Structure 1
Amino acid sequence: MTQPAPKSITLVIPVFNEAPGLSANIQTILQALQDQHLTDQYHFSLILVDDGSQDDTPLVIQSLESQDKRIQGIQFVRNFGKEAAILAGLKAADAADAVLVMDSDLQHPPSLIGAMLGLWEAGHKVVNAVKQQRGNESFSSRLFAEGFYRLFYWASGHDIVNHSDFKLLDQEVVQAYCALPERRRFFRGLVNWLGYPAAQIHFAVAPRSGGGQSAWTRLRLLRYAVTALTDFSVAPLYLIIWLGGAVILLGVLLAAITLLQKFSGMAADGFTTLIIFLFITSGAIMLSLGLIGHYLGALFLELKQRPTYLIKRQATDDDDTT
C-alpha cells in the first residue's frame, strides 16, 4: 500500500535587523525539528520575511536559501511592520497544511513545535502559545501589558491575555485570515476573532538569542497598543459619551455649590472655580476630538487602499505587491 505523502508545515518567521544571530538561530530551529523527530513525519519549509532591515539580514537570508532548499526569503522594499511581515508570510504559505508563526530570536522556543503539532493533529485549528513567564521584562513593561490586555478585553470581549504571535494555524484559518479586507491588522486579536477551535500551550519567554535589543521601544509599543485597540473596537468612542456626562455632572455640582454659597451669604470669588472648570472641559473636548480624529485617520488610511507591503525580492518572484 502506498503511504500518503507527509503533511506540509511552513514556519513563517518575520525578521528585522537580525543579521548577527539569524543564521545560528535558524540552524537551532532546524535542529530542534530534527531532535523532536518531526522531519520524519512532516515536510517542513521556512519563510523568512525581512521587514526592511538596514543591516546584512537580506544577505544572510540569501545565504541560508543557497544552503537549504527548504528556506525561502521575502524582502520588503522598506519597513512595513511585523503585522505586514506576518501577512506576507501567510500568503506565501498557501500550499502548506498548517503554518506556524514564530520569532527568529528564539524567544519562542522551537522545542514546543512538536507539542503544537500534536494539538493540531488532535483537531484544533489554532494553537496559541501563551506566555506563562514573561522573561526578563521590567515591572513597568509587565504592568503595561497587563493593563493593555484588560482594556482590550473590556473593549472587544476577546480574551487574549498573554497571547503571543507564536501560533500554529491550520490552512483553513490561514485562508480566512488572509481574506480579511482590512490593511491595519492586529494578528493575535484577529485570529481570536475568527473563532476557530483553539488550544493553548504555555511557555516561558526565553532570552533573546543573537544579541541586540528589541526594536519595540516604549513609544512604539504604546502606538501599537492604541492602534490595536481602536482598530479592533469602537468601544473607546462610547467613552466620549461617559466623559461628556461626567463633565455635565461636574458643572451641575459646581453650579449647585455656587448657588448654595450665594443664598447662604458665603458667596466667594468664582474665578478659580471657573478656571478649573474651563481646564476640565477643554481637556475633555481635546481628548474627545483626538479620539475621533484617530478613528477618522484610520478610516482615511483604509480608504486609500494602499498595499500593505511591497516586496523587493522573493525566492520565486522578483517583485510583488498586495
Structure 2
Amino acid sequence: MSDLFKLSIVVPCYNEEEVLHETTKELTKIVDDLVKAGKVTETSKIVFVDDGSKDKTWQLIDEFSQKYQTVSGVKLSRNFGHQGALLAGVTSVSKDSDAVITIDADLQDDVNAIPKMVDEYLNGAEVVYGVRNNRDTDTAFKRGTAEMFYKFMGFLGVKLVPDSADYRLMSKRACEVLLSYRERNLFLRGIVPLVGFKSAKVYYARKERFAGESKYPLRKMIKFAMDGITSFSIVPIKLIMGLGFFIVLISILLLIYSFVQKINGNVVSGWSSLMISIWALGGVQLISISVIGEYVGKIFSEVKQRPRFTIERDIYTEKTQEENKR
C-alpha cells in the first residue's frame, strides 16, 4: 500500500464542549502531519459525531467544520449511546474512506499513536488495535474489575483484546464486514475481533481526561459489561442449569440426612434453617430469572429491528459531495 489513502477519524461526542477545542487542535495537527509526510490524502477528515448532546457540542462542531476543511460532523437526532454513535460515524465515512480510526473525544487515548496505526496499515494490517501499556491512571477498583471482566469474558469464550477499548483503525473492507453485523445490542469490542483479517497492535500510555467528566460512571460500566457478556455468550444460562442441578443434589442430601436424624431421634425443631433455605433459594431463583430475562429482553429489542441510530444532519456527506463536484 504505497499510494496515498483517505483516512477518516471518527470521534463520538456527548456533552464534550469543554474538550472539543483541544481535541480539534490535536487531531488536525496529526492529520496535517500525515498529509505532509505523504501518507494520507488532503481529503482526509476528522468527523465528530454528536450523540444528542445537551450543551454546545454541536454548535462547536458546526463552527469547526466551517473553519477547518478537515473537520466534519454528524448530528444524531437523539442520544443513542457511545456504541451507536461510533457505528453511525463509521457508517457515514466508510463509503469513501480507505481507512477509519475511532477515538474518544476526551484525549485520554494518546493521539500520537495514530501515525503508528497508519504505519501498521501501510504494512498490510487491516485492523489495528490501540492497546494501553498500563493502567496507572485507573483506581485500584477499576483495574481489578477490568482484569476480572477480561478473564471472565475469556472463560465464556469471547475473544477480546485485553486493555483495548474503542481506539482502533479499520480498513474499508474491515468496516464493510463490521457493518454487515446487524445486531442492535452493540458491543463493538467483541464484534471487531470477529471481523478477522490481518491485525496488529499499537501500545500507548493512557492519559488523564483533559477536561469535563467521565461519561462512563460505575452504573454504565456495569451495564456495558452485562451487554458484552449477554451479547456474546449463553454460558450464563448454562451455569444457571448447573446451579439448579447442584441445589437439587444438596436438597436430596439434606433429605437423606433428615431421615437419618429422624431414625436416630435427633430431630431439633426450628425455623432458622428453614428460613435460610427459603431466602437462599428465593435469591437464586430471582437471579436466574433476571439472567434469563436479560436474554429475553435482547431478543425483544432485536426482533423489533428498530434503527440503531438516526442521523439528523451529516456535514461529512455534504462536504464530500461538494468536493466531488469540483
TM-score (norm. length: structure 2): 0.91
Q: Aligned with 1:42: secondary structure?
A: coil
Provide the secondary structure at the position in 2 that maps to 1:19.
coil
Match for residue 9 of structure 2 among 11, 14, 31: 11
The gaps in structure 2 that reach 5 residues or longer are 319-326
| Matched-pair contact (CA < 8 Å) for 1:33–1:110 | no
1:160 aligns with 2:161: yes
Q: What's 1:149 paired with?
A: 150
Distance 1:270 1:247, change over 3 A: farther
Which amino acid in the other structure matches residue 24 of structure 2? Answer: I
Q: Following TM superposition, where does structure 1 have runs of at least 4 consecutive aligned residues deviating by more than 4 angstroms? A: 35-39
Cα shift readout 1:89-123 (whole Å, capped 9, x = no counterpart): 11111211111111112111111111111111111
Superposition deviation, residue 270 in structure 1? 5.1
2 CA distance for matches of 1:205 and 1:38?
Answer: 27
Residue type of the alignment partner of 2:130: A
Residues 1:127 and 1:118: Cα distance change in structure 2 (over 3 Å): same
Q: Distance in 2 between matches of 1:130 and 1:265?
A: 66
Partner-residue secondary structure (3-state), 1:124: coil
1:220 matched residue in structure 2: 220
Q: Which amino acid aligns with 1:133?
A: N
Alignment partner of 1:183: what SS?
coil
- Cα separation, partners in 2 of 1:152 and 1:38, compared to 1, 3 Å: farther
Q: Give the Cα–Cα distance (whole angstroms) in 2 for the partners of residues 203 and 36 of structure 1.
A: 19
User: Within 2, Cα distance between the matches of 1:128 and 1:143?
Assistant: 22
Measured in 2, the distance between the counterparts of 1:7 and 1:37 equals 10
| Structure 1 segment 1-322 matched on structure 2, within 5 A | 6-35=4-33, 40-43=38-41, 44-93=44-93, 94-209=95-210, 211-269=211-269, 271-315=271-315
Tell me if structure 1 keeps the 8 A contact 2:76–2:309: yes
Q: 1:260: Cα distance to partner?
A: 2.6
Distance 1:317 1:100 in 2: 17
Q: Is the 8 A contact 1:251 1:277 kept in 2?
A: no
Counterpart residue type for residue 208 of structure 1: R
Residues 103 and 135 (structure 1), Cα distance of their counterparts in 2 relative to 1, 3 Å cut: farther
Gaps of 5+ in 1: none
Which piece of structure 1 moves more, 190-199 or 166-175?
190-199
- Secondary structure of 2:160's counterpart equals coil
Counterpart amino acid of 1:113? I
Number of matched pairs: 314
When structure 1 is superposed on structure 2, of 269-278 and 14-23 the one drifting more is 269-278
Identity within the alignment, %: 28
Amino acid at match of 2:121: W
The one-letter amino acid paired with 1:14 is P
| Residue identity in the other structure for 1:168 | L
Shift of 1:187: 0.9
Amino acid at match of 1:190: I
- Contact kept? 2:92, 2:316, Cα under 8 Å: no
Q: Distance in 1 between matches of 2:37 and 2:49?
A: 22
Q: Distance in 1 between matches of 2:201 and 2:174?
A: 16
Structure 1 length-normalised TM: 0.92
RMSD (CA atoms)? 1.8
Distance in 1, matches of 2:293 and 2:166, equals 29
